[in-house]
Amino acid sequence: MTDRNQLWGDLLRRGTRGDAAAYGLFLTEAVPVLRNIARARLPGGNAEELEDVVQEVLMAVHAKRHTWRDSDPVTPWLYAIARYKCADAARRRLGRGGQGADVPIHDLAEVLPDEAGGEITAARDLGR
């Protein structure tokens, strides 16, 4: 486990138990990292758009902090929220008639359905 995971895990664990100072420190420590994630995933985004995404991530963390299992590392959980919020922002950008954005999907390969496997299963079920 990395030092960041240990520190952030401890702070979030204490924060979910009511330690407001620890929770505030967790959020303060996470903000620069979240900005870097937003900047990397939303190339060409202006400062205002990036800050909006960071704020959305922070609100999602606050609303969903109970979903983090305190026995797990906190960074994958936090980074997943940031990825989803960046994807939402990229979709909004496209919806506004923007120039579009490249949203990498390499980290989704494990969760995308295997279309070939579904056909085999469907054929077997139909055969029965």
- CB contact at 8 A, 53 and 89: yes
41 class by beta-carbon count within 10 Å (0-12 exposed, 13-18 middle, 19+ buried): buried
Confidence of residue 81 (pLDDT cuts 50, 70, 90): very high
| Residue 73: per-residue pLDDT | 93
d(CA 110, CA 105): 10
What average pLDDT score do residues 112-121 get?
Answer: 58
Of the candidate ranges 11-15, 69-73, 105-109, 118-122, the one whose mean pLDDT is the lowest: 118-122
d(CA 103, CA 86): 9
Q: What is the pLDDT of residues 8-26, one digit of tens each?
A: 999 999 999 999 999 999 9
Q: Tell me if residue 43 falls in helix, strand or coil.
A: coil
**Closest among 43, 30, 47 to 86, alpha carbons compared:** 43
What average pLDDT score do residues 39-63 get?
Answer: 93
- CB contact at 8 A, 98 and 44: no
d(CA 29, CA 87): 23
Confidence of residue 44 (pLDDT cuts 50, 70, 90): confident
